[in-house]
Amino acid sequence: MAPSYQDLLLDVPAPHVRRVTLNRPAARNALRTQLLQELADALHQADADDDVRCVVLTGGPKVFAAGADIREMAEPQVAAELGEKRRACWQVVRDFSKPLVAAVHGYCLGGGNELAMLCDIIVAGEDAQFGQPEIRLGMIPGAGGTQRLTAAIGKARAMHIILTGETINARNALAAGLVSEVTADAGTRAVVVAAKIAAHSPLAVRQAKIAVRRAAEDALAGGLAFERQAFADLLMSDDRREGIAAFLEKRAPKFTGR
Ligand code: CAA
């Protein structure tokens, strides 16, 4: 088992299943860089460990993750400097070779939703809320959200979520194709699903994951590159500074288009 972490909990809820729990409840599991680095490390370890055949990724009972850490991202220069480190962590999640099953209760927002969408299966609790609220901060998703949400639920619904900042609930997420099922206890159900996967041939499971991801991901490269550049450009805008200040001061933002 990997070493203990500050922002994650690790355990083994079923044979050959590792569970990774995001554990920063006071900040609603906001994905600060340290958390992402711990996650990347935990997944590296799980990838290298033959005893692990499937990973369940979960958060708390009221929040999966509230997105990037807005406090950490407040200073554009710091945000830009952290960008490379953060991208490397996202890449580890994206390249993880074993099935990743997300169990989502409560808020699954911004980078949190992008993290869930990088998982292979999303099991949602009845109370789950999915969204990309970056627009409210004068930003756009920066870890693949514009592309993967559109691929998952189609242009019109993705545009609505990304342009309004509104969330969709678990039932609508199921109907739209974002999640594979909705249940009262997503954590327990995700472990059952993961245990079923872990009982199959690891060789066949690995090839199946690669094959399905090629259908889902290969077409996204151009859009992902555009999103990355647009996100980096917006880091320097006055509107982004205002959006973040307004969030931290708990007031409505006043955007000027600069
Ligand atoms: N980053 C940093 N801190 C956060 C946070 C975040 N994303 N989300 C919540 N927090 C903090 C709050 O600032 C607050 O801290 P204090 O107690 O010190 O004031 C604490 O967590 C509790 O927050 P709330 O009082 O708002 O909790 P709530 O339960 O009433 O609401 C919530 C929960 C709906 C998730 C709300 O906190 C929220 O809207 N959070 C922001 C969501 C968001 O905008 N995410 C997008 C981030 S940008 C991004 O992800 C970009 C990217 O692609 C890389």
Contact 118, 205 (CB under 8 A): no
List residues bridging with 181 in a β-sheet. 123
Identify whether 162 is part of a domain: yes
Expressed in angstroms and rounded, the spacing between residue 203 Cα and the centre of ligand 1 is: 40
Q: Whose CA is nearest to atom 38 of ligand 1?
A: 66
Identify whether 57 is part of a domain: yes
Contact 225, 147 (CB under 8 A): no
Give SS3 for 63.
Answer: strand
Nearest Cα to 187, choosing from 81, 62, 94, 69?
A: 62
Q: For position 1, what pLDDT does the model report?
A: 57
Q: Whose CA is nearest to atom 4 of ligand 1?
A: 27
Q: Does the beta carbon of 82 lie inside 6 Å of ligand 1?
A: no
Expressed in angstroms and rounded, the spacing between residue 247 Cα and the centre of ligand 1 is: 8
Bridging pattern class, strands 121-125 and 100-104: parallel
Which CATH number fits the domain that encloses residue 56?
A: 3.90.226.10
Residues 143 and 95: their CA atoms lie apart, in Å, by: 14
Residues 209 and 224: their CA atoms lie apart, in Å, by: 20
Identify whether 46 is part of a domain: yes
Expressed in angstroms and rounded, the spacing between residue 124 Cα and the centre of ligand 1 is: 20
Q: Whose CA is nearest to atom 29 of ligand 1?
A: 28
Contact 178, 122 (CB under 8 A): yes
Identify whether 95 is part of a domain: yes
* Tally of structural domains, the chain: 1
Q: Does the beta carbon of 143 lie inside 6 Å of ligand 1?
A: yes
Identify whether 234 is part of a domain: no
Identify whether 181 is part of a domain: yes
Q: For position 3, what pLDDT does the model report?
A: 65
Q: Does the beta carbon of 70 lie inside 6 Å of ligand 1?
A: yes
Contact 102, 209 (CB under 8 A): no
Would residue 60 show up in a list of annotated catalytic residues for this protein? no
Residues 94 and 101: their CA atoms lie apart, in Å, by: 13
Bridging pattern class, strands 168-169 and 129-131: antiparallel
Residues 99 and 101: their CA atoms lie apart, in Å, by: 6
Choose the catalytic residue: 68, 124, 152, 198.
68
Helix segments in the chain, DSSP class H: 33-48, 76-95, 111-118, 145-153, 155-164, 170-176, 186-198, 202-217, 221-234, 238-248
- What does the pLDDT profile of the chain (258 residues) look like in tens digits? 556 899 999 999 999 999 999 999 999 999 999 999 999 999 999 999 999 999 999 999 999 999 999 999 998 888 889 999 999 999 999 999 999 999 999 999 999 999 999 999 999 999 999 999 999 999 999 999 999 999 999 999 999 999 999 999 999 999 999 999 999 999 999 999 999 999 999 999 999 999 999 998 989 999 999 999 999 999 999 999 999 999 999 999 999 999
Q: Whose CA is nearest to atom 14 of ligand 1?
A: 27
What size, in residues, is the chain?
258
Would residue 111 show up in a list of annotated catalytic residues for this protein? yes
Q: Structure tokens of 101?
A: 């099953």
Identify whether 52 is part of a domain: yes
State which of 24, 28, 248 you would mutate to test the pocket of ligand 1, scoring each by most atoms of that ligand within 8 A of its C-beta: 28
Q: Does the beta carbon of 71 lie inside 6 Å of ligand 1?
A: yes
DSSP 106: S
Domain residue limits at 151: 8-186
Identify whether 82 is part of a domain: yes
Contact 22, 29 (CB under 8 A): yes
Expressed in angstroms and rounded, the spacing between residue 195 Cα and the centre of ligand 1 is: 33
